Amino acid sequence: MQFFDSLTHVTRDGSWCGEKRYDASLAKLLTDMDEGGVHRACLVAIADYVDNEVVIESARAYPDRFVPIAGLNPRSLPTLRRVEAAVAELAAQGFAGIKLHPRLNDYDPLDAKCIAAIDAAAEHGLVILLDTLFRRRGLATTNAPDSIDYIANACPDTRILLLHAAGPSMLDLFEIVRANPKLMLDFSFTIMRYAGSRLDEDMRYLFATTDQLITIGSDFPEYPPRTILERFKRLSEGIESHRIENIMYRNLERLFADYTVTTPANEP
């Protein structure tokens, strides 16, 4: 069965978050994709951690395998207008979406600049990949489902893939996703982080009942795709094949159905 990985990363030197514990090189990702039967993947930048340039270059080199997602830190920009301009620039460069990571970039997901970036994405046909594990030391945030409920209503036209499904709050988040047709739940990282906890049953329940709203991913280099597929196979045992197909690749194929990797007119 095909697998469209919702979340992968590469860096130019293969390091990951400044360390060599993982191999985040493009060569390693391609090898792991082949070994895991991954036919396509979202290749995702993170502002200040994974450069946009290496992501778009890799996607252009392998256009049938990667959907490039830019990283953006809206808080680093001086004005709301500049945020909107940055979103437009990323769309013009050929990205399919934008990754927002409030925790790593140290801002509240309800910050006005973050909302402006999410809202502007709809105008340019971009998908937002929002990291939903908001908690971090030194900056309190509201409950993740409440924050996402606010974002969904403030930006009703923006398609948003909710990375990691808010972890332990996944069932509360599910009710919000069910009420908002532009939202989709992603279980990258979460499917491994909470293995053996009560969340196993929550994930199995969602896989069995909400298959058209769910994706899974490896979060490479954190985990190899094959490991994620083995874990998903255990959690989805006995679930109908059409539901498994939706989760493994059909939902992401629909989400990015209109996207093709392009080279800007001013480049060779």
Per-residue pLDDT of 235-262, as tens digits, reads: 999 999 999 999 999 999 999 998 988 7
Query: Exposure string (b/e) for 67-103, b if CB count within 10 Å is 16 or more?
Result: bbbbbbbbbebeebeebbebbeebbebbbbbbbbbbe
Q: Which pLDDT score, from 0 to 100, does residue 136 have?
A: 72
Flag residues of the chain having pLDDT under 70: 137-138, 140, 264-268
Q: Where are the alpha helices (DSSP H) in 127-266?
A: 144-154, 170-178, 190-193, 199-209, 225-235, 241-245, 251-255
Q: Which pLDDT score, from 0 to 100, does residue 268 have?
A: 47
The arrangement of strands across the sheet holding 3-8 comes to 3-8, 38-44, 66-71, 97-100, 127-131, 160-163, 183-186, 214-215
Q: What's phi and psi for 229, nearest 5 deg? A: -65, -40
Q: How far apart are CA 93 and CA 56, in angstroms?
A: 8
Does residue 225 contact residue 218 with C-beta atoms inside 8 Å? yes
Give the helix, strand, coil percentages of the chain, each rounded to 5. Answer: 45, 15, 40
Domain covering 3-255, topology: TIM Barrel (3.20.20)
Ranges of each domain in the chain: 3-255
Q: Tell me the CB-side half-sphere exposure of residue 137, using CA atoms within 13 A.
A: 0
